[in-house]
Structure 1
Amino acid sequence: MAPTFMVSAPGKAIVFGEHAAVYGKPAIAAAISLRSYLLVITLSKSQRTVQLNFRDIGLNHTWEIDNLPWDIFQQPSKKRSYYSVVDSLDPQFLEAIMPHAEAVSKHLPEKQRKIHIKSATAFLYLFLSLGSSKSPGFVYTLRSTIPIGAGLGSSASVCVCLSAALLLQIRALAGPHPDQPPDEAEMQIEHINRWAFVGELCIHGDPSGVDNTVSAGGKAVMFQRNASGPPSVIRLTKFPKLPLLLVDTQQQRSTATQVDKVKTLKANHPEITETILDGIGKIATSALELMSSAVPSGSGNSDALGHWGALIGMNHGFLVSLGVSHPRLERIRELVDYANIGWTKLTGAGGGGCAITLFRSGIEEQTIEELEQKFTTEGFQIHKTILGADGVGVLWPAVFRGTDGKACGEIDQTMFENADSVQGINQLVGVGAQENREGWGFWTRDLSTR
């Protein structure tokens, strides 16, 4: 049997340009070091089942492999190879999958069950597209350190994990390894990305493709919607790794509601709103130009870091003008400004969700700890993370490492499931905030490009 292995992929934060991106302005999104982790266990040949265990959302279901609709997926006229470019879902495939996807979580309330059905649909679509009716049984167990439903790309991270795991299982990927040629790594990242996008189609219907692109390749991208066709995407492979404080308001919000709010404002005050949206787009462009001339640094005195911070503040101000902030988001900004540790803006749709803070140079750890205590006291959830994180990675075999970094034995499903909270997951298998966890390998894009 194949050894137990694990794949991991990051979430993302929009650094510049949210809402303006809806109207064709450029935006920058970057990977963060909060990640999803997928443990893959191969069963004996006699065990003809596939189990999907998404621990953090309470989804756990087992299917009989021989009962899945392989005949539909393996029609010669429709069979997809692993390097296919799929930009839409096959209606016949979806129809064949739905009875199996809808078998999950029948005991749960309808709202929660719908989320489980979408997750199961994405998994089954990928499993049947890339797998084989003759494959052995598997157990796929997922844990995540990414807040769900907070605009941080958690579903894309999961889809990247599933895509990479399935491609590894059919041996369509090599590496990652230190001597891997950049063009080979680039091609393999794109294969992972393409199939992750298929999973996102199953979950969201009409995704932009940005979240899975950032999660697969890491670092950052600048993206811009076009009037027709897919958005243009510039991969920012030299995007710096910067320490970041991500604060979750714990305030539920609806992306659609916030988008509609800006739409209404634009209808009622078209000229002024367009000026604001254009300003947000120019901030993203300015940030890119700044990065091309002087890379911001999280340590030492960096003029570029200060310039970036100013752009972050202006971007947040524009978003406030559009009416998409929230008192909880403004409280985060107020506390950060009072402590004078950095620059803060909301990230994502707003109306709740999360805020990101880029630290100034030379801030003492005690000052940060005092601020974190204030956040905790007021009911915020804080995450220390890295902006510009690595993309999809593999731990093969999945080996537990002690505090000294030495291998202590294979990670089993029970150990993985019982890891308590974000801290427990990170201690057991996490890449960690510094992204230097021993044993993990990452596909890396050619860093000679922008």
Structure 2
Amino acid sequence: MERKSSSPMAPTFMVSAPGKVIVFGEHAAVYDKPAIAAAISLRSYLLVTTLSKSQRTVKLNFRDIGLDHTWKIDTLPWEVFQQPTKKKFYYSLVDSLDPELLEAIKPHAEAISKDLPEKQRKIHIRSATAFLYLFLSLSSPESPGFIYTLRSTIPIGAGLGSSASVCVCLSAALLLQIRTLAGPHPDQPPEEAETQIERINRWAFVGELCTHGDPSGIDNTVSASGKAVVYQRNGANAPTVTPLTKFPKLPLLLIDTQHARSTATQVDKVRGLRTNHEQLTESILNGIGQLTASALQLITSPGFDSQDGISRTLDHLGTLIRINHGFLVSLGVSHPRLERIRELVDYTDIGWTKLTGAGGGGCAITLFKPDVLEETVQELERDLTAEGFRIYETVLGADGVGVLWPAVFRTEGEGSEEIDQEKFENAPGAKGIEELVGVGVQENREGWKFWTRYI
């Protein structure tokens, strides 16, 4: 008799994590001043398909960057990762990479995308390194086969935390697969949710170490926990990252200049200005620090997260955003494209605008004033698009990491819709992804569940 083929061991499921923007404090944060970063509703989505027992392969399919590679599970360097002195457990507080483990992964990561241009191949190798390090740390040689398919609505290389969002997705998916996460569910005790968010965050940081070498930890923390965080360096000591659990959801316009920028170049520019004009530059950096502290005081004030409280204080918050941009212009880190965005937005009077991130290109954010007319926003978007800018209507203070288990949406009166591999891979662009599986601007898509920190 023919042997019956074995069936998958677990249902297909999906995890999702947001990108981020710096709302206050960029550049000053380098000099031990506070910065506030918040999650946005542009997100990465990771679909996890479990294969049958007989299929001993693991496939990584990052569709949006053209990465598609399959490894045989039995050929991966488990013996190095399983050594008693090297073995890490899901609850381990890992804050650095093990050189021996990295070396063991190297030939497996470098075997990919050999026919691609070197620049693109390097991106693929970094992604594969992060994935393999996490997979080998959190799985076992007896692991069944999987397909990990990633799609994202976050612009890549624009300072919006896209790689951290991917690492949070991978971390959450792998921890779910080894059943070390419970929930999220409405009755989840606060301390349990807190522990699980931190567990996801810690392993996501390990992925970021593989991708960036020396990440600050701010991007993965915002992506894992959602809402917003305060980040502050403490000289030679480890920086502090404090969640702002009361940060409200606010409508936001994100505008991508489509002009590439280098964070290192902009940081060096400010460093040079500080060397040549120390007193003046220090006063600007102190000013940024003071307005960030003022924004923090406002955000944490009683009742701020209520609809009434936001309406009363939105003008104050917007003014601080405008002043912050002025300080950054004084430091020389803006760009003609960023200033053109501000000019067009100011002309419509729909809100307050600043660059976000390192500057020199990248993105700008506009916080909307209350009661803005939809037709005014649409007219502005047409003008911006005509000049080559890319527009995203998003939510500031979005939810953090979430899970859709199983990957099925139940629609009222119409049964259910299963999100399979083919549908997900072929969803056309960011809009198609949003329509198929998106949390996005809706932020309340039925079926998605999110880990949330206790307020």
Q: Common fold, TM-score beyond 0.5? A: yes
1:212 partnered with 2:228: no
Q: Equivalents in 2 of 1:265, 1:38: separation in Å?
A: 43
Cα deviation, residue 421, structure 1: 1.0
Is the CA contact (8 Å cut-off) linking 2:409 and 2:446 kept in structure 1? no
Q: Deviations over 1:304-332 (max 9, x none)?
A: 10000000000000000011101110011
Contact 1:40–1:140 (Cα < 8 Å) also in 2: yes
Cα offsets for 1:121-147 (capped at 9, x unmatched): 000000000001001000000000000
Contact 1:50 1:64 in 2 (8 A): yes
Q: Is the 8 A contact 1:298 1:359 kept in 2?
A: no
User: Are the equivalent residues in 1 in contact too, given 2:36–2:292 (CA < 8 A)?
Assistant: yes
1:154 and 1:200 mapped to 2: Cα distance?
A: 11
Q: Which amino acid aligns with 2:87?
A: K
Cα pair 1:11 1:33 within 8 Å, conserved: yes
**Given that residues 246 and 305 in structure 2 are in contact (C-alpha distance below 8 angstroms), is that contact kept between their aligned partners in structure 1?**
no
Q: Give the residue type in structure 1 aligned to 2:434.
A: N
How far apart, CA to CA, are the structure 1 residues paired with 2:220 and 2:381?
30
Picking from 22, 27, 38, the partner of 2:46 is: 38
Q: Match for 1:329: what amino acid? A: L
**Match of residue 57, structure 2, among 29, 49, 60:** 49
Displacement of 1:65 in angstroms is 0.2
Gaps of 5+ in 1: none
Counterpart in the other structure of 1:304: 313
Deviation at 1:295, TM superposition (A): 1.7
* Residue pairs, 1:2-401, within 5 angstroms: 2-293=10-301, 295=304, 302-400=311-409
C-alpha displacement at 1:302, in angstroms? Answer: 2.2
Instruction: Deviation per CA, 1:315-373: give whole Å up to 9, x if none.
Output: 00000001110111001111110000000000001111100000001111111111111
Q: Please give the alpha-carbon distance, in whole angstroms, between the structure 2 residues aligned to 1:296 and 1:360.
A: 16
Q: 2:300 is matched by which residue type in structure 1? A: S
> CA-to-partner distance for each residue in 1:14-71, whole Å, 9 max, x for gaps?
0000011011110000000000000000000110000000000111100000000000
Q: Whole-Å Cα distance in 2 between the matches of residues 161 and 426 of structure 1?
A: 17
1:296/1:304 contact within 8 Å kept: no
- The 10-residue stretch of structure 1 (3-12 or 262-271) with the greater mean CA deviation from structure 2: 262-271
1:409 alignment partner, one of 404, 417, 420: 417
Identity, in percent, stands at: 76
Change (3 A) 1:221 1:301: closer
In 1, distance between residues paired with 2:228 and 2:236? Answer: 23
Aligned partners of 1:39 and 1:142 also within 8 Å: yes
Question: 1: distance between equivalents of 2:65 and 2:113?
Answer: 11
Structure 2: give runs of 5+ residues left out of the alignment. 1-8
- Cα distance per residue 1:198-255 (max 9 Å; x no partner): 0000000000101000000000000101112321111100001100000001111111
**Cα distance between partner residues in 2 of 1:70 and 1:219:** 37
1-structure distance, mates of 2:310, 2:64: 41
Deviations 1:146-180 (A, max 9, x none): 00000000000000000000000000000111111
Secondary structure of 1:281's counterpart equals: helix
Contact 2:15 2:172 survives alignment (8 Å): yes
SS of 2:364's partner is strand
For normalisation by structure 1, the TM-score amounts to 0.97
RMSD: 1.4
Deviation at 1:291, TM superposition (A): 1.4
